[in-house]
Each structure stands twice: as structure tokens, then as C-alpha cells.
Amino acid sequence: MDILLAHGYYLSEDPAERKVMKPYPTLGLLYLSAYLKRAGFNVGMFDSTFDTLDSFISLTEQQKPAVIGLYCNMMTKFNILKMIAASKHIGAIVVLGGPEPANYAEEYLTRGADVIVLGEGESTLEELLPSLARHKLDKLDVIAGIVFQRDDGALVRTLPRAQIADLDSLPDPDREAIDLQMYMDTWKQHHGMSSISLITARGCPYHCEWCSHAVYGHTHRRRSVNRVVDEVEFLLGRYQPDQLWYADDVFTIKHSWFFEYAAELKRRNIRIPFECISRADRLNEQVIQTLADIGCSRLWIGSESGSQTVLDNMRREVKVEQVQAMTHMLRKYGIQTGMFIMLGYEGEEVADIEATADHLKKAAPDVFLTTLAYPIKGTPYYQKVENRILARSSWDERSDRQLSVVGRRSRRYYSFANRWLVNTVLLDREKKGTANPLKVIKAKVNEVIGRAGMWMTNNEREVK
């Protein structure tokens, strides 16, 4: 085996996802597996989602791969640190990739990783693996797109590697390397339908200040229409999913491509329900009608806030009114809407949270999810507040999600704010609908508690 690929997400350790039960495999690793196998490498795969850390340790002790490649993001950091230690215990060379190690290269290298791959991993690993086989950790300087540590402790960041210009040159993800049926069965058991993910592009050219571009940068590169439809056709024939999830950052970003794609699906008589993400400014009635025609059942919009001031601070480059108008139009064509809402961004005041509540009442999405803003290293937001970032524990014990900002209102305040926001919107929805008395009473009680809590904690600030 030339390399064992793995990631650190274990469903059994994620209580939030166990309530939702909508897992998808890590497409990035499946792309790597397919690419490296096509290049002639012997590739193993440990898909941790339905497995355990003990299983990973047992597998590595039995097979003793010379190189172990781990995909790491913020959520999997703590398991990855354990997997690094287990990999080093058997003498493996550890290569890390993904958004998290790119921002914390020195930290991961000093904790046992040997090489950090920056950006896309396909061509870097194709060059790196033969070098590791011949020279171990010597002569890494000539490999573009990596970070490593010399024996003297100096950190070396090699020249950047060009991104893959032609995505059609990549093979389809190596879904046969994992038990995809387990994902589909989980979906079917909990939601009555199975679902498979795919991507049609890489990268996002927008500049939202809180968003990480650690892997793909600010590029936007598309696969050709025929290559994507070929993959959809294969997925339908091989796995028979009930729906698809287009995991692109902005599915309808390029209208000419999107309309051509819809036409090709129709030409091949393909129509299957799907979900996707887009932006309000990349939607219009023609796009939405076409989405409905080809099977879109739900579209997620990164609304983030109902305050134009906050949106401008984020550099979202979208108007609140656009989000509301496109949400109404999606509903007109029978497409459900989901929204992502972020509280606590730099400069947000009570009036901005109230504007967000008003926005959600007017837009009336079918579902919305809230999160509290946190600075991700490497983003403009992080740089903007870096001298005020508050970390209450050591790097090994926290992720960027636990970071706060000195001077911002307390987490307790935002817990109350979220309670008020969710329930004032729910109360408005109930009053406009069937007005279930029990739901109205519950929502009213929580709305009052949330509002009172906001008032009581309004002056609580994050301090060192």
C-alpha cells in the first residue's frame, strides 16, 4: 500500500448529527483515491463515519502503511490529533490536508504530522508519494504546495502549486472505496429517501470575510456539463438514489452553464429531486423556474443577517430585499427554502438582531439554522479582530469555534438572543397559520424569556 487515506469524522461522537442523520462521505478523499489509483498507486481507505477510532488504530497496526494521509477540518481536529499519534506509533509518515492544517501548519507539525499539503491534493500527492518512497523526509524542498519542518525546527513553506485548471481531467470520486450503501440506508431509515452528494465546481469567488478559502482560494472552476451529467447518469444507474445533493458553494453562480446543464438533463430525460446552495443575487425567476423544472426540492441561501449594516460589514455583497424576494419566488415555484443565520458578527447591535427577526418573518423560509460568529484563522474576519481574539484554553483543547472576541457581548447574551429570535419567528408563523394553541403558548414563553435574558445580559462583554 502506497498510502492509507482517512478522515476523522465519527458519527457516533456527534450528538447533533445523530439527531439529524443526514451523513455524506468526504468527497475530497474520494477524489484523491480515484486520482491516485488512476496514476498507478496502491491506495487504502478508512472511512471513519460509521466506524471507530479503535478500528483505525487496529487497521494501522495490522497493515502498517508507510504513509497515512489524513483529511482534517475544524470539527475533526481532536480525532485527527489522536490519529496522528497512532500513525506515528507504527512508524508511518503522516501527511495532512484540508482547511484546518493549512491555517495551523506549525501546530500540527510539532504534534507529529510530517507534511502539510496546501490547497488541492491530487497533483501534490502524485509527486510527493514517490519522493517519500525514495527519500523519506529528505528532499521535500522541491515539492510545490507543501509545508514541513526541518530537523532544526525551521518551518519550510515551498512554492505554491498551481490549481487544477481542467476539472474534467479528474476521475469521478472513488465511491466504490467506501460502503456508500450505509450512507444511503441511514438516509432512508430516518427520512424515507436516500441521497448522494456530488460537486459540479470547485471554489467560490466571493469575499465574505468570515469564510475560509484555505483549499480552493477565491477561484471558481467548473466541470463541463456533459461530465457532470455523465456522473449523474452513472449514480442513478449504479446506486438508484432518491435525491441528489449538489455540494457546490453556489450552484447557480454561472447562468449560462446552469441553463445548458438543465437542457442536457432534459435531453437525457433525467429528473431527480435535489438540494443545493446558492445566493440571492445569483437567482432570478428564469433560474428559479428552471431549478423547479429539473427537480430542485430545497435551496439553501446564506442569508446570515437581516441587517444591511451587518451584511455590508461581512462583505456579503447582497441586499436583504433580494433575499426576501428570491425566497418568495422560490416558494411560488414549489421549492422549499433554508437559510443560514449568523449572530454576533463584528458591529452587530440589538437593532440588527431585531432586523434579522423582521427579515425572517418577511421572508418566511421553511427552515433556518443559526450559529454564533467565530473567527477562523486565515480569514479577513480573523485578521480584523486578531488582537482581540479570546482563547480560554490551549490550542490542543479548543477549535476556532470556541474562539471569541474581547468586547463582544457574552455567549450567555447570544444564547438568550437566539432563543428570542427563534421563538419570535415561530410565534409569528403560528399566528399566520393554524395557530396551534400549545405551540403559541410555548413560543410566547420562550420569546419572553429570551427577550428578558437579552435585557439582563446586555452589558455582559467578553473580557480577558
DSSP state of 161: P
Predicted model pTM:
0.96
pLDDT at residue number 437: 87
pLDDT at residue number 436: 84
Fold entry, domain 193-364: TIM Barrel (3.20.20)
- Which pLDDT band holds residue 318 (cuts at 50, 70, 90)? very high
Please, what is the average pLDDT of the chain? Answer: 96
| CA 420 – CA 430 distance, rounded (Å) | 15
Average pLDDT over residues 19-39: 97
Nearest residue to 362 via CA among 333, 318, 316, 331 = 331
Interval 211-223: pLDDT, tens: 999 999 888 999 9
Pick the CATH number of 3-157 from 3.40.50.280, 2.50.20.10, 3.40.140.10, 1.20.1560.10: 3.40.50.280
| CA 64 – CA 1 distance, rounded (Å) | 9
DSSP for 276-322, written as a single string? EEE-GGG--HHHHHHHHHTTEEEEEEEEE-S-HHHHHHHT----HHH
With 80 as the cut, is the pLDDT of residue 434 above it? no
Paired with 268 in beta bridges are none
Q: Helices 225-239 and 255-267: crossing angle, nearest 10°?
A: 40
Q: Are the CB atoms for 97 and 31 separated by under 8 Å?
A: no
Average pLDDT over residues 116-138: 97
pLDDT at residue number 435: 74
Q: Are the CB atoms for 221 and 203 separated by under 8 Å?
A: yes
pLDDT at residue number 432: 87
Q: Are the CB atoms for 63 and 90 separated by under 8 Å?
A: no
Phi, psi (deg, nearest 5) at residue 10: -120, 115
Q: Are the CB atoms for 1 and 57 separated by under 8 Å?
A: no
Q: Are the CB atoms for 71 and 101 separated by under 8 Å?
A: no
Interval 377-400: pLDDT, tens: 999 999 999 999 999 999 999 999
pLDDT at residue number 342: 97
Interval 46-68: pLDDT, tens: 999 999 999 999 999 999 999 99
| CA 365 – CA 324 distance, rounded (Å) | 9
- The domain ranges of the chain are 3-157, 193-364
